[in-house]
Structure 1
Amino acid sequence: MNKKILLVVIIILSSFAFSCDTTTSKQSSKKSDLVIAVIYKTLDEAWFQEESEAAKNKALAMGAKDVITIDAKMNPDVYLSALDNLITQKVDGILICVPDQKLSKITIDRCKKSNIAVIACDDPLTDDEGNYIAPFVGIDSNQIGRDMTSLMVDYLEKNNKLSDPNSSGLLLMSMDSVSSCIPRTEGQLETFKDRLPSFPRENIFQAEYNGQSEKSFYSAASTITSNKNIKNWFVMSANEAGTIGAIKALDQSGLAENAVAVGVGGYVAKDEFQKQNSPLIASAYISATEVGEIAAQELMENLLLNKNIPDKYLVKDKVITKDNYKNLVIK
């Protein structure tokens, strides 16, 4: 009788051990077959090209079998079609920068239903009240706006650029359709008003664009043409493409020589700094590589180690000028 009981116990333990080994084997196989995707709202801009490449390389180095890179071309239909294809392919995780934040909820709903991990890069995924509904890797938008504005005002005061405020204008290139950019513009405007309380409020202009230099050019050109009394323009933007577009519009209008501009990003600044008389005096350099690598690392650690993804990771900036930009590694 005791021998029979012992035999039953051995069989049960053997079955359990086999089951555990099979489960472990399946889990290990799954982790070695990880496929992730990166979807960016556009890959026309140098920033997103570098960030997507950095994310891909980091994920592959950490053991991903494949990384699928998709350009949404600033088109919601292209984006949603790509998202559905990735879900059909059963990818394990996605790094996302949406072309329109109104797509946030549908993105999260579809990914949750298919148990796909998601991290938002650069532009957060938000609900109707602006609350984050997915982990986010990006920058401290408001503080960068304030820092760059203070730098500009210091320059204007030091170089006697405020002697004729009535013929001077502040041009804020804004992206109110992207929630992460709104605090940047707010920080710029609040700091400018605080530092220069007597500056004519009627000479402060805000022009909307979609993040691309071409749209910025047309929006800035319209504002400049409509305000011919302004001869000295001070330009700030939500990203560097916005600043560059505005500079081109000023150049076309023959007003670039007296203009002063600052940017955010640092990826086109190096080209402007090489020009003899560019209005661009400084830019907040942010490493797209760092954003991409951190996002990919957090996603892979979640998939490989079940590590919780932080709700928010903010990358710090460095101010670059014509004097120091060559010391930074800018691709």
Structure 2
Amino acid sequence: MNISKTFLVATTMVTLLASTASGADKLVVAIYKSGTQQYFLDQAAGFTKAAEELGYKAQIINVELDANLAISAVSDAIAAGAKGIGLTAPDQAMGAAAAAAAAKAGIPLIATDDPLKDSDGKPVPFAGFDGVAMGTKVGERAGDLLKQSGWLGGTKYGILSINLDTLSVCNDRTDAAKAQLLAAGSTEANVIPVSYDGTTDVALSASGPVITANPDVAKWVVVSCNDEGVLGGVNALKNAGFSASDVIAVGLGAYEACRPWKEGIETGFKAALYISGTDVGDAAARALIKSIETGEPLPEKTVANTTIVDPTSYANIMPCK
């Protein structure tokens, strides 16, 4: 994290403590990793809107990819009098500490997007998506496009599988996508793994050397844990001289994929799985506040729906910012 982002997070925490003295009894806090990504901006908006509709004040904290800041944010939220916390953790290993802090304070904690476990290994209540189902839909569409392309008939192609290996939900997504591509007729030899940190820049820089190291590959399929990963792979292929027709990229999120579609720009993005961060934020806030108001435990799992979109269908299904 750079200095400006650290300052922004620290300032947000100070503001949280200073601004809630008169309304702490109606405060819920959402803490997000990578909070400047569009998906998490949408989720924060959904969380805030739902909380306000239910008469609560929402505070959003972005901790980027810093687990230490996330732990501090949990402590600061509790100190500010938060009655419930939503957390998309930068590191799933912090689940036990966050769950223990919330339990000690006697407030509900809901994990968003990335599942967490407490110190006993029990799942923290969760709101988000089913990673295996998401990856399966991505892989099914990528597999269909691969079969339609004719590349299975002898063209030398590769599959960039861009993954955040340390995050279980990412492994769920890319493993499921790969399984569907294999079912479509591909082979393990075609799958070329790329490791990244969830951001476009690192996906781009990590993919470049892999592409260069495989000069005999004429066509590429790209799948990843999120739209940022796919975008990084697509940009790396463009930089290496591959045209949009040489690439079958299926995004996961659709918020990056839809931008070239909206502008009518040729792109390797042929489809994407639309996931609504707004819906997850809304569900998390409503679940938290229901638990606060009734004293009932949070549901173990709240799963949101997903939809495959492409350049011909996205405008009828999703906003594109």
TM-score norm. by structure 1 comes to: 0.85
- CA drift of 1:285 comes to 0.6
Q: 1:253 is aligned with what amino acid?
A: A
In the alignment, is the contact (CA less than 8 A) between 1:37 and 1:68 conserved in 2? yes
In the alignment, is the contact (CA less than 8 A) between 1:31 and 1:303 conserved in 2? no
In the alignment, is the contact (CA less than 8 A) between 1:124 and 1:132 conserved in 2? no
Instruction: Determine whether 1:63 maps to 2:65.
Output: no
In the alignment, is the contact (CA less than 8 A) between 1:286 and 1:317 conserved in 2? yes
Q: 2:173 is aligned with what amino acid?
A: R
Taking the aligned partners of 2:150 and 2:61, their CA distance within structure 1 comes to 48
Taking the aligned partners of 1:106 and 1:222, their CA distance within structure 2 comes to 38
Instruction: Determine whether 1:135 maps to 2:125.
Output: yes
| SS state at 2:58 partner | strand
Q: 2:286 is aligned with what amino acid?
A: Q
- CA drift of 1:324 comes to 0.8
Instruction: Determine whether 1:78 maps to 2:69.
Output: yes
| SS state at 2:123 partner | coil
Mark the CA change 1:226 to 1:186 in structure 2 (over 3 Å): closer, same or farther: same
Question: Which residue does 2:14 correspond to in 1?
Answer: none
Instruction: Determine whether 1:41 maps to 2:33.
Output: yes
| SS state at 1:95 partner | strand
Instruction: Determine whether 1:99 maps to 2:90.
Output: yes
Instruction: Determine whether 1:224 maps to 2:202.
Output: no
- CA drift of 1:226 comes to 1.9
In the alignment, is the contact (CA less than 8 A) between 2:200 and 2:229 conserved in 1? yes
Q: 2:43 is aligned with what amino acid?
A: E
In the alignment, is the contact (CA less than 8 A) between 2:100 and 2:118 conserved in 1? no
Mark the CA change 1:117 to 1:127 in structure 2 (over 3 Å): closer, same or farther: closer
2:229 to 242, 247, 253: 242
Q: 1:162 is aligned with what amino acid?
A: L
Deviations 1:16-71 (A, max 9, x none): xxxxxxxxxxxxxx99932110100121100000101110111111011x221101
Taking the aligned partners of 1:203 and 1:328, their CA distance within structure 2 comes to 33
Q: 1:144 is aligned with what amino acid?
A: M
Instruction: Determine whether 1:269 maps to 2:253.
Output: no
2:108 to 101, 117, 122: 117
In the alignment, is the contact (CA less than 8 A) between 2:24 and 2:80 conserved in 1? no
In the alignment, is the contact (CA less than 8 A) between 1:141 and 1:181 conserved in 2? yes
Mark the CA change 1:63 to 1:120 in structure 2 (over 3 Å): closer, same or farther: same
| SS state at 1:113 partner | helix
Instruction: Determine whether 1:149 maps to 2:136.
Output: no
Gaps of 5+ in 2: 1-21
Question: Which residue does 1:294 correspond to in 2?
Answer: 283
Taking the aligned partners of 1:264 and 1:156, their CA distance within structure 2 comes to 17
Taking the aligned partners of 1:144 and 1:90, their CA distance within structure 2 comes to 36
| SS state at 1:181 partner | helix
- CA drift of 1:90 comes to 2.6
Percent of paired sites with the same residue: 26
Taking the aligned partners of 1:162 and 1:249, their CA distance within structure 2 comes to 23
- CA drift of 1:244 comes to 0.6
Taking the aligned partners of 2:192 and 2:51, their CA distance within structure 1 comes to 43
Instruction: Determine whether 1:259 maps to 2:247.
Output: yes
Gaps of 5+ in 1: 1-29
Runs of 4+ in 1 over 4 A off after TM superposition: none
Q: 1:68 is aligned with what amino acid?
A: Q
Q: Report the RMSD for the aligned CA atoms in angstroms.
A: 2.0
| Mean Cα deviation higher: 90-99 or 216-225 | 216-225
Q: 1:96 is aligned with what amino acid?
A: L
Question: Which residue does 2:220 correspond to in 1?
Answer: 233
Deviations 1:194-251 (A, max 9, x none): 221xx34322111111211111111211211222221211001111111011111111
Taking the aligned partners of 1:174 and 1:261, their CA distance within structure 2 comes to 14
TM-score norm. by structure 2 comes to: 0.87
- CA drift of 1:275 comes to 4.0
